[in-house]
């Protein structure tokens, strides 16, 4: 899709060519009138056409000489813009730094122009907020997504994730989280619920246990022992869980002792906490976890791209527009902030500009010097060439009129003397 700038340049090129044709056509008319005047011996028309041709050709030479050598001939003091580019850049930089960056002039303009108030009025309008949102959603965000490298972002996320994990003492967290289990009947109730759940799952998977036992028994048993073995395994596990559910049973007491010992180590043993930290960090370093972390950026990027493709329905764009408009409305109602912004521009920003006006002038000068002379000439001609063609047209017409005036003066003098 052609950019807006290219479209505008195409329009300017067409307008420039049209005006060049008009100026050339007028000069052609002057030439034709000269031929007619000479052939039919019309002195007044001859004087007009001669002067018109001289004026048109002279102004054509002057206009063309700004941008290139007329007819490709390297005549002295032609192609002024391309050959004098460095001098033009230096003079432009000095002009801007001395004439525009002038404290007295800028202070007067800033005092007349309430920047913060005008900016808040502009931002608070829905259409303007939408324009900013469009600019950000269409150009800024996609540009950023294309500019940044996925590998760099993923590496950044991994480094930050690892750094954050390394700064967390998971042992303390686990100890703090498990501390309530050592008080009251919370632990007992939790164990009972857990054992009840395991018993229910065991019953739901009885057929699976039977299949596993059958797959593990010798082939020569011909399946005769499968049923009795599987029933024995199932009943043994079920009896164990049923007995463990009773707080006073020997199994439950052993489980309670193990849980209490584990909680005590987590709470009081530095070695146990280090093991917990190491275990979690080792888990975070596994390839599967790293792949998942890398996938986070891919998902974020894809989500952003998909949302921006919705155009006017994009939630990102609409949120940006809403944020800009809210900021504008809030700024309008905050007189203190408006004064601060205006004072900042009037004092701090103005001081920075004035203190660096030499740098700004040098920047303009060096920037112009870095441009290609031919390219600068072509761009300037595209911008102002259309209007300069009026010089050629006026030169042709004014030249012709001056020719008539000279002819008239000469005629009056000639006949008055005679």
State the pTM of this model: 0.47
Q: Measured between alpha carbons, how far is residue 191 from residues 187, 203, 248, 392 in Å?
A: 6, 18, 13, 100
Phi and psi at 68, nearest 5°, equal -160, 175
Judged against a pLDDT cut of 60, whether residue 266 lies above it is answered with yes
Assign 220 a pLDDT band (cuts: 50, 70, 90): very low
Phi and psi at 285, nearest 5°, equal -85, -5
pLDDT in tens, 65-101: 999 889 888 888 888 888 888 888 888 888 888 877 7
Read off the pLDDT of each residue in 141-148 and give the average, rounded to a whole number. 82
Tokens 């996925």 correspond to what residue?
A: 150
- The pLDDT value given to residue 181: 61
pLDDT in tens, 278-334: 887 777 777 777 778 778 888 888 888 888 888 888 898 899 999 999 998 988 888
Distance CA 343, CA 191 (A): 68
Assign 184 a pLDDT band (cuts: 50, 70, 90): low
Q: Measured between alpha carbons, how far is residue 38 from residues 30, 47, 48, 150, 407 in Å?
A: 12, 10, 12, 78, 15
pLDDT in tens, 97-115: 887 777 777 777 777 777 8
CB 400, CB 30: distance < 8 Å? yes
- The pLDDT value given to residue 182: 57
Judged against a pLDDT cut of 90, whether residue 56 lies above it is answered with yes
Exposed/middle/buried for residue 5 (C-beta within 10 Å: 0-12, 13-18, 19+)? exposed
Higher-confidence residue of 25 and 149: namely: 25
Neighbouring C-beta atoms of residue 410, cutoff 10 Å: 12
Assign 30 a pLDDT band (cuts: 50, 70, 90): very high
- The pLDDT value given to residue 213: 65
Exposed/middle/buried for residue 149 (C-beta within 10 Å: 0-12, 13-18, 19+)? exposed
- The pLDDT value given to residue 156: 83
DSSP assignments along 344-375, one per residue: IIIIIIHHHHHHTHHHHHHHHHHHHHHS-HHH
Distance CA 294, CA 250 (A): 49
Judged against a pLDDT cut of 80, whether residue 231 lies above it is answered with no
Residues whose CB is less than 8 angstroms from the CB of residue 187 and which lie 6 or more positions away in sequence, other chains included: 181, 256, 259
Assign 177 a pLDDT band (cuts: 50, 70, 90): low
Higher-confidence residue of 99 and 25: namely: 25
Distance CA 86, CA 284 (A): 60
CB 169, CB 277: distance < 8 Å? yes
CA 210 from centre of chain:
63
User: In the structure encoding, which two tokens stand for residue 134, read together?
Assistant: 């469009």
Residues whose CB is less than 8 angstroms from the CB of residue 140 and which lie 6 or more positions away in sequence, other chains included: none
Judged against a pLDDT cut of 70, whether residue 195 lies above it is answered with yes
């Amino acid at each position: 899709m052609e950019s807006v700038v290219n479209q505008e340049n195409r329009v300017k090129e067409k307008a420039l060519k049209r005006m060049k044709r008009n100026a050339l056509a007028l000069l052609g008319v002057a030439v034709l009138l000269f031929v007619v005047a000479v052939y039919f011996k019309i002195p007044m028309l001859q004087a007009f056409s001669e002067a018109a041709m001289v004026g048109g050709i002279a102004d054509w030479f002057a206009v063309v000489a700004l941008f290139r050598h007329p007819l490709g001939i390297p005549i002295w003091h032609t192609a002024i813009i391309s050959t004098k580019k460095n001098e033009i850049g230096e003079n432009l930089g000095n002009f801007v730094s001395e004439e525009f960056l002038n404290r007295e002039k800028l202070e007067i303009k800033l005092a007349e122009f309430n920047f913060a108030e005008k900016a808040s009025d502009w931002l608070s309008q829905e259409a303007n907020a939408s324009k900013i949102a469009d600019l950000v959603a269409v150009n800024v965000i996609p540009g950023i997504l294309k500019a940044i490298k996925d590998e760099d972002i993923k590496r950044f996320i991994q480094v930050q994730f690892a750094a954050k994990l390394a700064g967390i003492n998971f042992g303390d967290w686990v100890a703090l989280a498990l501390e309530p289990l050592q008080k009251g009947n919370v632990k007992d109730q939790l164990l009972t619920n857990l054992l009840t759940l395991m018993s229910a799952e065991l019953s739901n998977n009885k057929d699976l246990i039977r299949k596993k036992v059958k797959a593990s028994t010798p082939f020569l048993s011909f399946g005769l022992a499968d049923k009795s073995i599987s029933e024995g395994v199932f009943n043994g596990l079920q009896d164990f869980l049923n007995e463990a559910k009773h707080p006073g049973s020997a199994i439950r007491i052993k489980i309670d002792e193990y849980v209490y010992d584990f909680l005590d180590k987590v709470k009081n043993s530095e070695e146990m906490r280090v093991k917990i930290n190491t275990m979690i960090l080792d888990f975070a370093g596994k390839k599967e976890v790293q792949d998942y972390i890398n996938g986070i950026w891919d998902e974020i990027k894809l989500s952003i791209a998909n949302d921006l493709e919705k155009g006017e329905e994009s939630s990102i764009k609409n949120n940006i527009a809403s944020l800009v408009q809210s900021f504008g409305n809030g700024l309008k109602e905050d007189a203190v902030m408006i004064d601060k912004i205006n004072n900042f521009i009037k004092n701090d920003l103005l001081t920075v500009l004035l203190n660096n006006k030499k740098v700004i002038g040098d920047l303009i000068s060096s920037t112009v010097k870095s441009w290609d002379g031919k390219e600068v000439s072509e761009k300037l001609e595209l911008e102002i060439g259309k209007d300069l063609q009026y010089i050629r047209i006026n030169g042709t017409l004014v030249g012709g009129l001056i020719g008539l005036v000279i002819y008239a003066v000469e005629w009056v003098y000639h006949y008055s003397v005679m």
